[in-house]
Amino acid sequence: MTSESRQAAPATRLVLRSILYYVILIGGATLGWRSMPHGSAYAPTSLDALFGAGGPPVSVKGGPDAALDEVSLALTVGVAMLAAVLLSLPVAWVYLLTRSKRGYQQSVVQLLIILPAVVAGIGLLVKYSVALAFSLAGIVAAVRFRNTLDDSKDAVYVFLATAVGLASAVNLPVAAVISVGFNATVLVLWYTDFGSAPVELDGRIAENRLKRAKQLARTGTFVARIDDEVFRNMTREQLEGVAERAWKRANNTADDEASAPDDETRLRVSTDDVTAMRRAVEPRLQDFTKRWRAGAVHTSEEGSIVEYFVQMRKKTTSEELLTLVRAAGSSHVRTVELV
């Protein structure tokens, strides 16, 4: 099974589950509202406003019907909050699917379900009272919520949760349309990977980054960064182990190279102590050549011959380079030659 098929399988299951969920939820709510005995003394007329029927405002003043109005208001708030939670549940499913790769915060997932219910309850509370609306605005302005979201998409989800809750307090069909429309849009954008760079552009960007990394690896800045970040806190035994493995890897790589490129010259140094010679000579090569790299090491009974591939600077002649290597290696360098 390819990665694309593995990615499409949970998305397909989520789409089918969401469609079935919306059909059962919206269909059941519609049938329940139509079968409710409207106009009855025991049926809260304020529910008609939630379903777009334009019911009268709820009375909160005292009177013979005050107790019935309070029960009606409480039942209406409960229905609006429950509807907000049910319509937000598919939004949380879509959020979990689309954020599964980058990761998400559990608090954000729970916020997408809790926030609509809170907004719906408060929205119904201040729906018919201007004084309560202004009081709520002052309270919200005084309370500051400090929470940093990892992605700008999380802010969109939080804004949607607020919209679903507010619509649930005003008009439930509108809340259903917001929930369905948002989930459909997000799934289409996620499945098609809309807005991503073309494949050709991705390849060009990766190629340029690889080229810059290779150029950085040839400079002394890269070596200095490695020395500062990695080698500084290592013990002498650890450093010697790293050096030994590095030389082995360099020798294995150099054995596969039959000849040096046209712009490089082969430098052969004969020595009786390879490690001491390298410590003395290679810093000088870094200073007095344009570029250099280690080659093969040939060992015999008479001694060892270490090969380097160097690119000469324009101002440095061959004799000057040989003299610098002999002087740097002192007693550790027996002979040195350019081939």
Mean pLDDT of 200-229: 62
Assess whether 37 and 180 both reside in one domain. yes
Tokens of 54: 């334009």
Residue 226 has pLDDT above 70, yes or no: no
pLDDT at 1: 47
Q: Is residue 219 part of a domain?
A: no
Q: Is residue 72 part of a domain?
A: yes
Domain CATH code at residue 275: 3.30.70.260
Comparison of pLDDT for 117 and 242, the residue scoring more: 117
Q: Is residue 8 part of a domain?
A: yes
Assess whether 296 and 186 both reside in one domain. no
Distance of CA 204 to the CA centre of its chain: 22
Assess whether 172 and 26 both reside in one domain. yes
Query: If you write DSSP's letter for every residue of 112-168 in order, what string do you get?
Result: HHHHHHHHHHHHHHTTT-HHHHHHHHHHHHH-------SSHHHHHHHHHHHHHHHHH
Residue 106 has pLDDT above 70, yes or no: yes
Question: Residue 184, exposed/middle/buried by CB under 10 A (0-12, 13-18, 19+)?
Answer: middle
> Which residue, chain included where needed, has tokens 């050709």?
200
Assess whether 171 and 315 both reside in one domain. no
pLDDT at 72: 76
Q: Which of 145, 151, 153, 146 is nearest to 91 (CA)?
A: 153
Q: Is residue 56 part of a domain?
A: yes
Assess whether 39 and 129 both reside in one domain. yes
Residue 245 has pLDDT above 50, yes or no: yes
Task: Work out the number of other CB atoms within 10 angstroms of the CB of residue 13.
Answer: 11
> Residue 257 region, left (φ>0) first, then alpha (ψ -120 to 50), else beta?
beta
Strands (E), the chain: 265-271, 291-299, 304-311, 333-338
Which domain-ending residue is among 150, 171, 192? 192
> Residue 63 region, left (φ>0) first, then alpha (ψ -120 to 50), else beta?
left
pLDDT at 258: 47
pLDDT tens, residue by residue, 136-195 = 666 565 555 556 666 777 888 888 898 898 888 888 888 999 999 999 998 888 888 777
Residue 275, domain extent: 256-338
Q: Is residue 100 helix, strand or coil? A: coil
**What one-character DSSP code corresponds to residue 236?**
H
Assess whether 187 and 294 both reside in one domain. no
pLDDT tens, residue by residue, 91-103 = 999 998 888 777 7
End-to-end Cα separation, the chain, in angstroms: 55
Count up the domains in the chain and report the number.
Answer: 2
pLDDT at 60: 45
Q: In percent, how much of the chain has pLDDT > 90?
A: 10
Assess whether 182 and 281 both reside in one domain. no
Q: Is residue 202 part of a domain?
A: no
| Band of residue 276 on the pLDDT scale cut at 50, 70, 90 | confident
Q: Is residue 155 part of a domain?
A: yes
8 A C-beta contact, residue 184 and residue 18 = no
Assess whether 7 and 156 both reside in one domain. yes
Which domain-ending residue is among 192, 209, 224? 192
Comparison of pLDDT for 278 and 261, the residue scoring more: 278
